[in-house]
Structure 1
Amino acid sequence: TPRTPKEARPRRSQRTYRWNWPGWLPGLLMLALGSVALWQAANSYLNPPEYVLPDLVGKTPRQALEAVRTYGLKVEFTEGSDVSLPKDQILEQTPDPGTRVKPGRRLELVINKPRFGNVPTVSGRSLEDARQALEASGYRVAGITRIASGDTADTVLSSIPREGQPLRPGEGVRLLVSTGTRPPVRETLLPDLSGLTEEEARYILTVAELQAQVVRVASGAPEGLVIGQEPGPGVVLPRETVVRVLVAAQPVASLPRASPFAPPRLEPPPP
């Protein structure tokens, strides 16, 4: 087929393109904002901020977490025991207060979980053996109450608190010790109850085979503390005798129902 000369071919139309600036502005703005955010993220990752650790000792776990909530730290809790401090209180912290830390560092907090021991068995032992057993268990002898009994002198009959009860280390244990003299038949020696609590006084009278009659007396002494007894200590009484135990109670003031003052007169308001 014959070819068409170049002059006879139709010429393509040439299009002209113009820059549409209003359409490009949102894209350029988004690109700029993304670049700034990317730069800030890279700078924060390569140069993380530093924080100064506050003193968290003595605070609760919730207070400690609230204090370092924005630091980005890995907080770990371990248990410790200190019976002289309240439960769930922070005892130690690692790193120490004032240390400069960066996000991601581990913060170890020791929480107080007091561990209580049990009162050892002291009944049937001599007074010296019972004292050594209490000291070996971390306790001390708070007082000795001697009761007439047919057991050998200085033999421990019982203890307050009783054997096996949980007790904080360092607390005192009161011992009931035999005097070694057997009282006459159906008679017992009244021990000294002053300074004991109502529960302790009832327990000692039960051991001595006596009955307690508690009388509450208004006094400035602590609530429930024995401030007197009738008869007094050292008296030989028949068994099952009633002993009056005077226990301190807080005074209560009673107010009269009716007021001694005349009620105020209500007058109509002025026009």
Structure 2
Amino acid sequence: MSNFVAYLKTKSFRNTILFAIGSVIVVVLIAFYSLGYYTRHGSGIPVPKITGINIDRALSTLKEQGFGVSIDSVYVLDQAPGTVIEQDPDAGTNVKEGRVIYLKIVKNQAPNVALPDILDAPYISAEATLSNYGLKIGDTTYKSDIARDHVLEIKFAGQQIQPGTKIPKGSKVDLVLGDGSGASEVEIPDLINQDLDAARFVLKQSGVVLGTITYQGTITDSTNLIIVAQSPAKTDSVTKVSNGTRINVTVTQGKKTP
């Protein structure tokens, strides 16, 4: 044990320790600088700004500077097809030559959306609903109807369409609205011997509205009600009433007779 302690105090031991420490430091420095050289730490070329330009021009710019490119596409309303809207890495970032730049561009074809049900809705409500579906309002025309500024018809490419029709997102639809006036007088519909549900439809198309319903006799099935009287009724001397007039009816249990 005394010999080992004596060896630790010798110059030879100290030299051995210093050599070992120096060797470790040299190895670490070589590894550090070699890694920095291999990865080109602190060096690189800046990524150009290519958002907002057409993809053809963007590809030309990136390839001239030695970058690789990966492209994804998405549809964006009111953006020109082929426009670069995102890039990664961001413009100005220093990267190695040959680095892949990820781009997102606006694709050409818009996805289809189902036309929402805006019939009979006020114009303001219809505009908000269409906007939520990615659609726009094109032309608006008016026709005589008591429902002022309410949607009466929807047209696309000159053709009348119904809610649920598939059209490209971003499309413009034309609306036909009521002007609030309607005809001053309309024909009195003949509702006698009509079932109540059919009469409601007839009234809606005639410009008059359903008023008071009087039930006659015992009613056991509300789905089978026949109109036996109406007021005002169409006569030889009275055939028209003002638009929006209420038609009162009397119904009874039964089925429509020939």
TM-score w.r.t. length of structure 2: 0.42
Compare relative contact order (CA 8 Å, sep 6+) and give the higher one, 1 or 2.
Answer: 2
| Bigger share in strand | 2
| Bigger share in helix | 2
